[in-house]
Amino acid sequence: MPQSPSPLTRTPTAIALLTGLLILSACDQTPERLAESASKESSQAAIHLEFSELGVATTTEDKMRIRASEQVSVNGQIQNIGYHTLFATGDENNGERFGQSKDVSGQPIVFEDGSPYLCNGTNEGVGSGLDHVSILHKNDTLYMVSQYECVIGSMYVNELLQDENGQLSVKPDSLKFIDQSSDFGGYVHCAGQTTPWQSHLSSEEYEPDARYIETHFDNFTQSSGNRYYDEMARYWQNDLSRANPYFYGWIPEVQIDAQGEPEYRKHFSMGRFSHELAYVMPDQKTVYLSDDGTNVGLYLFVADRAQDLSSGTLYAARWQQTSDRGLGQASLQWISLGHANNAEIRKVVASKPKFSDLFDSLEPNSAGQCVDGFRSINTTHGHECLKLKDINGDKRIDTQDEIIASRLETRRFAAMLGATTEFRKEEGISFNAQNNRLYVGMSEIARGMENHAKNGEANPQYDSGGPNHIRLPYNPCGGVYALDVAANAQMDSDYIASNMSGLNAGKPDKNNQCMADGLANPDNLSFLDDSNTLVIGEDSSLHENNFVWAYDIHKQNLTRIFSAPLDAETTSPFWHKDINSFGYLTVVTQHPLEEQAVELAKKQSQAGYIGPFKFFEKDSEPALTAIPD
């Protein structure tokens, strides 16, 4: 352990110099170079897809049901596709009920009236319902892992059957509950990914604010006043003293072993914040991490070894704005938050620390400033004045203290080192390997992303005390960004993003609703390998029905391919390009309005897929070609 003073104990000048050393950057990009970079989308793909256009629903019946494109042209050959349901919340299989929340001992949780606590986003449970499913091909078997975006974040696994025409169905008597008690239980599982090594990479969103909970927690009533955190009492058998806010806000992973059993663990090395998605790049060690909320960051993890996320170095992005037109443009710098492994961070988490064990904190003074020795930041938790403490008890503030803080309070610590924490509802991530382009969905361009404003009106709240890196015009419809990636030897990765620029923006009308021919609050993304197509889902109240779009990166146009029922969110569209020569686009619909068509009468969240797509590999080349009908 170094004997020299910690970066956070040095003088402001020394801090600035050291922070400069911590920043690892590609060459800055001018707007002209970014525009030149955008032309990379014109390269040709091996698979050219054109979906039949799905019109906007005009009848009550169409607005209340799931609709999807029925045909797709694959390299000029027409194929019949459609939407197919796999599982809906409440379905029973193998003595289990899909979506049933369970407590720490694996017992089903019930509401006060005795009804089952189902995570469907429409009952008295806290949360949104089923969010993401992964299809894993292991042991010559297809498995589906499902995760739920309720505070008590349940997971299930079942087997799938595939017929000769590629149609998928749930195997009878195969549904199993995945026990997460080994790592303190699950919490608000949002988006996910099927990793290149065929595991299910999950997320835990809306991490509890440990500072707030420490201030407000009442040991007598077992209530903190934080509705999300307090809901975890049901998981801990109505004893919230068994919980800790640092138990939640991590990246879990589920592997399927040789016997077909799920193996679960959290990756404490990857940092704690409001994880929307962890997206693994082709090297199987570089992972981009999105942070969903207001005044959040963008993160990057480089693992020590491929297919093993248990240890590595975490980075946070700094946005260096080069244009404020549209969605804006910037060069990106990456600030190192240091190296950690699961075991060392889990040990700290298991000790049930408090926020005050990590930081001294003060409120800004009447002038909105922090006193000497305290760092001024503005994150999800507002404007704060923080100073790192001697966490490990060795009577000095050193690297080990910094590593602990960087993982338990990633967003706050990143802001203290100068990273950008001004993004607003940062959502899905996907990658186009043909052009080395990463895509990131931003649900709104608002609040911290504006310039001392909120929703287009002057308001200093989201920039006060912070660096105000992002200064863009308000767009309530949001948009999708493109990031060019390249090798960076210093960061030991071939996939480091050097810039960030707008790719496709939603189009607000004069009432700040979103026009029907454009995006409304993009959520999760999925790029079909070797193709021309980026799939974009929506989570919005600014379209009457939420849509899934196919964006042609060559023609730069949108085609509507899926429409959810009224009030339902489209979550986690994900391409599975080649499962025994067939392709599938999985889609989940959450919390439809109660007064829906017959098939949704129970207000179910449900998982299904669009497809199947017929593909095969031509000779030994990776490109795919369509099989004629």
> Which tens digits make up the pLDDT trace of 75-109?
999 999 999 999 999 999 999 999 999 999 999 99
Judge contact between 536 and 551, C-beta under 8 A.
yes
Once rounded to an integer, what is the mean pLDDT over residues 394-415?
Answer: 95
Highest mean pLDDT out of 113-122, 226-235, 286-295: 286-295
Q: Which of 16-30, 93-107, 215-229, 325-339 has the lowest mean pLDDT?
A: 16-30
Q: What is the pLDDT of residues 527-576, one digit of tens each?
A: 999 999 999 999 999 999 999 999 999 999 999 999 999 989 999 899 99
pLDDT tens, residue by residue, 124-139: 789 999 999 999 999 9
* Predicted local confidence at residue 463, as pLDDT: 98
- Residue partners of 308: CB distance under 8 A and separation at least 6: 285
Q: Supply the Cα-derived Rg of the chain in whole angstroms.
A: 24
pLDDT of residue 22: 44
pLDDT band of 587, cuts 50, 70, 90: very high
- Distance of alpha carbon 505 from alpha carbon 445, whole angstroms: 10
pLDDT at 281: 98
Q: Is the pLDDT of residue 3 over 90?
A: no
pLDDT at 125: 83
Q: Where are the domains of the chain?
A: 7-626
pLDDT score at 626: 36
Task: Give the percent of the chain with pLDDT over 90.
Answer: 81
Residue 223: partners with Cβ closer than 8 Å, 6 or more residues away: 217, 230, 240
Return the percentage of the chain with pLDDT > 70, whole number: 89
DSSP string, 539-564: --SSSSS-EEEEEETTTTEEEEEEEP
Confidence class for position 414, pLDDT limits 50, 70, 90: very high
- The percent of the chain in helix, strand and coil, each rounded to the nearest 5, is 15, 40, 45
Q: What angle is formed at CA 411 by the lines to CA 368 and CA 294, rounded to 5 degrees? A: 70
Residue with tokens 């400033």: 369
Residue predicted with more confidence, 606 or 219? 606
User: Average per-residue pLDDT in the chain?
Assistant: 90
Instruction: Please answer whether residues 548 and 586 qualify as being in contact, where contact means their C-beta atoms are separated by less than 8 angstroms.
Output: no
Kindly report which listed range (20-24, 336-340, 397-401, 593-597) carries the lowest average pLDDT score: 20-24
Q: Is 231 left (phi over 0), alpha (psi -120 to 50) or beta?
A: alpha
Q: Output the pTM of the full model.
A: 0.92
| CA–CA dist 128, 230 (Å, integer) | 16
319 in Cβ contact with 306 (< 8 Å): no
pLDDT-derived band at 42, boundaries 50, 70, 90: low
Q: 221: pLDDT confidence band, cut at 50, 70 and 90?
A: confident
Q: Dump pLDDT digits (tens) for 417-468.
A: 999 999 999 999 999 999 999 999 999 999 999 999 999 999 999 999 999 9
Is residue 573 within 8 Å of residue 586, measured between CB atoms?
Answer: yes
Binned at pLDDT 50, 70 and 90, residue 37 comes out as very low
169 three-state secondary structure: strand
pLDDT of residue 36: 46
pLDDT at residue 21 is higher than 50: no
What pLDDT shows up at residue 40?
55
What is the per-residue pLDDT for 38?
45
Confidence (pLDDT) at 15: 35
Given pLDDT bands bounded at 50, 70 and 90, which one contains residue 123? confident
pLDDT exceeds cutoff 50 at 62:
yes
Q: What is the mean pLDDT of residues 233-256?
A: 96
> Is the predicted pLDDT of residue 266 greater than 90, yes or no?
yes
Question: What does the pLDDT read at residue 35?
Answer: 41
Q: Give me the mean pLDDT over the 28-53 stretch.
A: 62
